Structure 1
Amino acid sequence: MTTTTADAPDRTEAAALLHAVADPARLAVIHRLADSPACVCVLQEQVPLALNLLSYHLKVLRAAGLVTCSRRGRWIDYVLAPDALERLHATLPGTPVRQPAAAGGAAAVLPQYAVCPPQCADQA
């Protein structure tokens, strides 16, 4: 396989994305958010980490552009970026690049009732 300098930016971005999901906790968050959006309280139940450590991992995923968030009162709701899985798949050799999801996909407006269980909504 021949390496060209034109491939370097693509590989740099690919390495950054893979680095972002290389931690078991961050990978668990990606898997959880692939199912549906979630508030921090739900993520903390399903990815059992101290809140400050979970916040750090979410910050890394946001910086990589894999996760987006929105504030709802005291709570922050997280959702997988619309192109996150496609970008991750594109980092792997031999993986066909899929078309991004249509506008209004998973990262559209987060319905409050679908993101946070009732006990969390009462605390907001």
Structure 2
Amino acid sequence: MLSILSFLLFFIAFLVFVRWDRRRIDQGAPDTDIRQKIQNGWNASQSAKYQGAAGVAAIAAVSAISQWLSPNLPPFTGRWSWLNIAAYEAFGTYGMAFVTTVASLAFAISAWSLWKQVRRPIK
């Protein structure tokens, strides 16, 4: 059930992205000299930074929901087992859900802060 909901969520997000990108392209021709800009030292704009932070926050939120609905139980194995063990010992069964919720909130606050900087009027 969770996998179907996750698939539908990502599919809807993909359709929203396609619609947004089509509207962006229709409003004006995209830059054709992107490679030249990159070679000249192009940097990501502030809007790209807050959108990236918001995307990571959304992914962490989905991970937190997944961990809440289906928590991992010991014995933990793998590369991130140390984090699972620490979260389990500190917060119990739903420790990783708590850790990923905190990470999601941190990235959401970061995205909001970056968004406020982009929207701030220039004096």
TM-score > 0.5, shorter chain as reference: no
Larger strand fraction of residues = 1
Q: Output the TM-score relative to the length of structure 2.
A: 0.26
Q: Flag the structure with more relative contact order, 1 or 2, with Cα contacts below 8 A and sequence separation at least 6.
A: 2
Q: Output the TM-score relative to the length of structure 1.
A: 0.26
Larger helix fraction of residues = 2
